[in-house]
Amino acid sequence: MGAGLLEGNLATWAGGVPELASEAVANAQWRNATEGEKHDTCDRNDWRRASFERFQPPGGADRGFGGVLAASLAKQASAQVTSSPDTAQVQFALNLHYLLTNFLQVMIYGEGRQLPAALIRGGEGANSPGVSATSVKQIMFDVETRTIQARLNEIADEHWFRTELLRGILRADSPAQKLIDYSSTSFTTMFRLAGVIGQTETFDPYDSPNNGLLAADTLLSVQASVLAGMLPNLTNDVVQATMVTMSATAASNATAVRYMIQQRAAQQPDLLVAVDKLAAWRDRVDGTATAERPLTPTIGSDGSAVTRIGQTNADGLYLTRTPQQALNVLFMTAGAVSQGGFFPTGINGLIGTSAAN
């Protein structure tokens, strides 16, 4: 590699034009979408599409990754097996990615970045449209919070592509996105239930980067816990290998957000209290007893502090939930219901009812 690359400085790279600099500059350009210099949505989507198409070898899309998966599942499809155990699980993962991708993309980049019609419809045709997410708002980040913004950008982008990947696995079995309520009313309900705010107070997730982090944490931690528990229920080798690494990436995302909250807590310690109360509330409604790990650091016997950023247990294993337990959190109830909370009309797919806890 050229000497310019070793400098690790984009200004230097841009002059030397190594291959990585070109990409880094492109990344930087569209990750810098501040209020004043928002970049054209279409440009960005073209870039995305280009990235996705890189997967397609000469000969067409059918031999791409999604095609491989489809081929491996073709036997089931031709036999009219409509309820492969994998399908139900991956459908649920897709529903979680709808929830997170819209939220993170619009929160970071602004209106227009929610998932488009082609990525939220049921199956691959146009006859089962999804319901576009309209209630997310953009959050303004200043230079002081640039490391937060950068990492949320990265997580938002990962979610976009993971949504595409999950749809590539499911193909015709992709469930359509239903109405998702991202309004402050929805989050306020959850934060009141958890006791983070009083019964007459409101919580606006779009008011500040700190509030956005709290909101993102509630959603990301649910997603990561579901994916971490999904492997035993999968049967297809390719799906298994894919979902293990998707789970790892989701756990990394959730951990990154808890890391950021830990950082921000240096100036606003009540953030830790809020996370702990939300975690305790999730434990109350999802039937997993005390599986959640608070964020507030512990003080060891020798007086040394130890953080609790990773949602891991005494064995170092990540928190897991069933999809039904996750729905308890997202529907905001301990009972067995099929709608509520963030999903006023429920979700599509083979799994749609919360557990009775």
Partner 1 sequence: MAHQDISGFDDTRRRFLQMAGSATAMAGGLSFLSACNDDVVGAEAVATPTPTGTATSTVLPPTYTATDNDRLNFGLQRHYLLAAYLHRALDGGALSASMTGGAGAAGTVSGGRRVAFTDLSLLAMMREVSEATDARIAYLRRTLAGAVTAQPAINIAGGEGSPFQAIAITKRGTPPPAVNSFFDPYASENDFLLGAVALSSVVTQAIYDVTWQLAAALRTGMAAFAAGIAASDAILRNSLFVRADADVRVPAAGQSNLFGRAVTMALGRDQYDGPRAMESDAPGIGGFAGADWVYSKIDIVNYNWIAIRRTPEQALGILYASAASVSSGAFFPAGVNGTIRVSGANTY
E strand map for 277-348: 298-299, 305-306
- Between residues 224 and 351, which has the closer beta carbon with respect to partner 1? 224
Residues 187-216 contacting partner 1, CB under 8 A: none
Question: DSSP letters of 58-98?
Answer: TT-GGGSHHHHHHHHHHHHHHTT----HHHHHHHHHHHHHH
- Between residues 32 and 202, which has the closer beta carbon with respect to partner 1? 32
CA distances from 31 to 23, 161, 212, 346 (A): 12, 16, 17, 33
Residues 218-247 contacting partner 1, CB under 8 A: 224, 227-232, 237, 240-247
Cβ 202 to partner 1 shortest distance, Å: 31
Distance of alpha carbon 328 from alpha carbon 321, whole angstroms = 10
Ramachandran region, residue 227 (left: φ > 0; alpha: ψ -120 to 50; beta: rest): alpha
Residues 69-128 contacting partner 1, CB under 8 A: none
Q: 299 has which bridge partners?
A: 305
Q: Is 268 in the site for partner 1 (CB under 8 A)?
A: no
In the structure encoding, which two tokens stand for residue 208, read together?
Answer: 């500040």
- Between residues 12 and 333, which has the closer beta carbon with respect to partner 1? 12
- Between residues 21 and 120, which has the closer beta carbon with respect to partner 1? 21
In the structure encoding, which two tokens stand for residue 321, read together?
Answer: 């939930």
Greatest Cα-to-Cα distance within the chain, rounded to the nearest angstrom: 64
Q: Is 259 in the site for partner 1 (CB under 8 A)?
A: yes
Q: Which residues of 106-136 are buried (b: 16+ CB within 10 A; e: fewer)?
A: bbbbbeebbbeeebbbbeeeeeeebeebebb
Cβ 249 to partner 1 shortest distance, Å: 5
Cβ 274 to partner 1 shortest distance, Å: 19
Give the range of 94-102, 130-138, 156-164, 203-211 binding partner 1 by CB under 8 A.
Answer: 156-164
Count residues contacting partner 1 (CB under 8 A)?
A: 95
With CB under 8 A as the contact rule, the residue among 104, 139, 158, 349 that binds partner 1 is 158
Distance of alpha carbon 215 from alpha carbon 137, whole angstroms = 12
Question: Which amino acid, one-letter code, is at 330?
Answer: L
Cβ 164 to partner 1 shortest distance, Å: 8
Cβ 21 to partner 1 shortest distance, Å: 9
Cβ 165 to partner 1 shortest distance, Å: 5
Q: Is 22 in the site for partner 1 (CB under 8 A)?
A: yes
In the structure encoding, which two tokens stand for residue 352, read together?
Answer: 């749609």
With CB under 8 A as the contact rule, the residue among 150, 179, 334, 350 that binds partner 1 is 150
Q: Is 7 in the site for partner 1 (CB under 8 A)?
A: yes
- Between residues 160 and 203, which has the closer beta carbon with respect to partner 1? 160
Give the range of 78-86, 144-152, 187-195, 275-283 binding partner 1 by CB under 8 A.
Answer: 144-152
Residues 29-68 contacting partner 1, CB under 8 A: 29, 31-32, 50-55, 58, 65
Question: What are the contacts of 195-199 at 24+ separation with CB within 8 A?
Answer: 195/277, 195/281, 196/273, 196/274, 196/277, 196/278
Cβ neighbours of residue 124 under 8 Å, at least 6 residues apart? 171, 172, 174
Q: Is 10 in the site for partner 1 (CB under 8 A)?
A: yes
Cβ 95 to partner 1 shortest distance, Å: 18
